[in-house]
Amino acid sequence: MTAAKIIANEIKGYHRFVQFLIVLVALGALASLARFVFGLGVTTNLNDTFPWGLWISFDVVTAVPLAAGAFTLGAIVHCFHIKKLEPLVRPAIVTGFLGYSLVCVGLLLDLGQPQRGWHTLVYWNPHSPMFEVSMCVMAYTTVLFLEFLSPVCEKFGYHVPMRLLRTLEMPLVVAAASISTLHQSSLGTFFLIAVDKLHSLWYNPLLPLLFWLSAMCAGISIIIVEATMSHKYMGQPDEGELLETLAKILPWVITVYLTVKFFSLFALTQGPLFNRPGLLVLFVVEVVGGMIIPLFMLMSRKVREDGRLRATAAWMVIAGIILNRFNVSMFGMEAPGTFYYPSFIESLVTIGIIAAHILFFVLIAKYFPIFEHHPETVDYSIPDHFHKTEKGHAHGAAKA
């Protein structure tokens, strides 16, 4: 069989959902091709009054905190030495690595001159938060890649590099946490320059700190959701107990976040808060629905112990943070009377990027030992049906 045939056969064996993801990714790729052929002006709804749109708001500003699971968990597990959470680390690293790689893709698409991306490495401007973020994202993607190499080496049985990676593990974890702290917060710094542009509900000098704190909330919630989902859909064991521990940490972080948020809102904000009813609604939904309600939910033991409720609360936090990033980078930036909404092609690209993330995660989980803690019992192939594996049905792609 030729390589192409092998691949085609392999793909035929995938679950329909996975095939659907492949289609979405292909559409996204086509859409991004269109962007380069026809130009940003034609394919997007961006213009001189609204130069940053969906790709910055979602693919960069939102995707970065959503990929924060890796550094949060790495720090919790290794630095605070809470060993029992260790089984969650690898999936988190894979998610982080994918997330960041796709952030880079999103960023390149959005750049007017992507072929000059390397200029950030040559022409330094330390006064620019964008410079800082792009350096950090590059550095962090490398770190995550190195961390991700562990399961790869394991899979192929490369012992020497594995040794090396083991030695590097701690420095990498520390590097990951410090680099993340910087760029997670610098994403907030981006908007500090938008004085008089970003609405005062979100504009305040502590924006970087808030971005960092909420990134940690996002990180923890993502881990909860991810573990719950891979238990439910990918036949991974129940990590309930571990997630309970995380669910106990989360309310603390949320509380700190909310404290800083309200302090900065009432003590440091200049300018009117209540002059734009639409924005006010968005703000209330973000804070109440995305932070306060899940905070109260997670304070009750019943919620923390119930897998479903716990995941629901985590989802709410995630939704709150997504809304927060959109509020800061999109809704809050729109001048009264202007309105930006993403074009069809912009949306297609973003959907493709999200689909690619899920797709690659599923595929990596299929071929590499990232749920490594119970190697004997697990067949890494994707079950044919997401709820239960049908017995006797030959997996088209069981070879891994």
Partner 1 sequence: MSSENQDFNKSKAFLIDMTKCTGCRGCQVACKQWNQLGAEKTEFFTGEGYQNPPLMSEYTFTRIKFRDYEKNGQNEFAFYKEMCMHCNEPACASVCPVGAFKKTKEGPVTYDADRCIGCRFCMVACPFGVPKYEWSKALPLVRKCTGCYSRVKEGLKPACATTCVSAITYGNREDMIKEANKRIAARPEKYLKKLYGSEEAGGTSVIYLTALPFDELGFKPVTKRPLPSYTWQALRLVPGIFLTVGSSLSLLSWFNHRKERIAKEEEQRKSGATPKEES
Q: How far is the CB of 111 from partner 1 (least distance, A)?
A: 5
Report in angstroms the alpha-carbon separations of 282 from 200, 221, 325.
13, 21, 11
Task: Please say which residue, 62 or 230, places its beta carbon nearer to partner 1.
Answer: 62
Q: 359 — alpha (psi -120 to 50), left (phi > 0) or beta?
A: alpha
Q: How far is the CB of 399 from partner 1 (least distance, A)?
A: 25
* Phi, psi (degrees; rounded to nearest 5) at 231: -70, -45
Task: Please say which residue, 208 or 307, places its beta carbon nearer to partner 1.
Answer: 208
Report how far residue 35's alpha carbon sits from residue 28's, in angstroms, rounded to the nearest whole number.
Answer: 11
Task: Please say which residue, 156 or 296, places its beta carbon nearer to partner 1.
Answer: 156
Report how far residue 191's alpha carbon sits from residue 84's, in angstroms, rounded to the nearest whole number.
Answer: 38
Q: How far is the CB of 15 from partner 1 (least distance, A)?
A: 32
Q: How far is the CB of 200 from partner 1 (least distance, A)?
A: 13
Task: Please say which residue, 5 or 339, places its beta carbon nearer to partner 1.
Answer: 339
Tell me which residue of 109, 91, 104 sits closest to 136, measured CA to CA: 104
Task: Please say which residue, 212 or 360, places its beta carbon nearer to partner 1.
Answer: 212
Q: How far is the CB of 79 from partner 1 (least distance, A)?
A: 4
Report how far residue 230's alpha carbon sits from residue 393's, in angstroms, rounded to the nearest whole number.
Answer: 21
Question: 3-state SS of the chain: helix, strand, coil percent to 5?
Answer: 75, 0, 25
The Cβ of residue 265 has, within 10 Å, a number of other Cβ atoms equal to 18
Three-state SS at 50: strand
Report how far residue 217's alpha carbon sits from residue 321's, in angstroms, rounded to the nearest whole number.
Answer: 8
Three-state SS at 47: strand
Task: Please say which residue, 189 or 228, places its beta carbon nearer to partner 1.
Answer: 189
- Residue 297 exposed, middle or buried by CB count within 10 Å (0-12, 13-18, 19+): buried
Structure tokens at 359: 């797709």
Task: Please say which residue, 20 or 36, places its beta carbon nearer to partner 1.
Answer: 36
Chain residues in the site for partner 1 (CB under 8 A): 36-41, 46-49, 51-52, 75, 78-81, 110-117, 119-120, 122-132, 134, 162, 166, 170, 173-175, 177-179, 181-182, 185-186, 188-190, 192-197, 205, 207-208, 333
Task: Please say which residue, 53 or 320, places its beta carbon nearer to partner 1.
Answer: 53
Residue with token string 């927060």: 324
Task: Please say which residue, 9 or 178, places its beta carbon nearer to partner 1.
Answer: 178
Q: How far is the CB of 37 from partner 1 (least distance, A)?
A: 7
Report how far residue 204's alpha carbon sits from residue 206's, in angstroms, rounded to the nearest whole number.
Answer: 5
Residues 251 and 292 sit within 8 Å (Cβ to Cβ)? no
Report how far residue 376's alpha carbon sits from residue 169's, in angstroms, rounded to the nearest whole number.
Answer: 25
Q: How far is the CB of 199 from partner 1 (least distance, A)?
A: 14
Q: How far is the CB of 257 from partner 1 (least distance, A)?
A: 17
Q: How far is the CB of 212 from partner 1 (least distance, A)?
A: 9
Task: Please say which residue, 163 or 399, places its beta carbon nearer to partner 1.
Answer: 163
Tell me which residue of 90, 87, 371, 397 sits closest to 235, measured CA to CA: 371
Q: How far is the CB of 189 from partner 1 (least distance, A)?
A: 5
Three-state SS at 204: coil
Structure tokens at 248: 């106990």
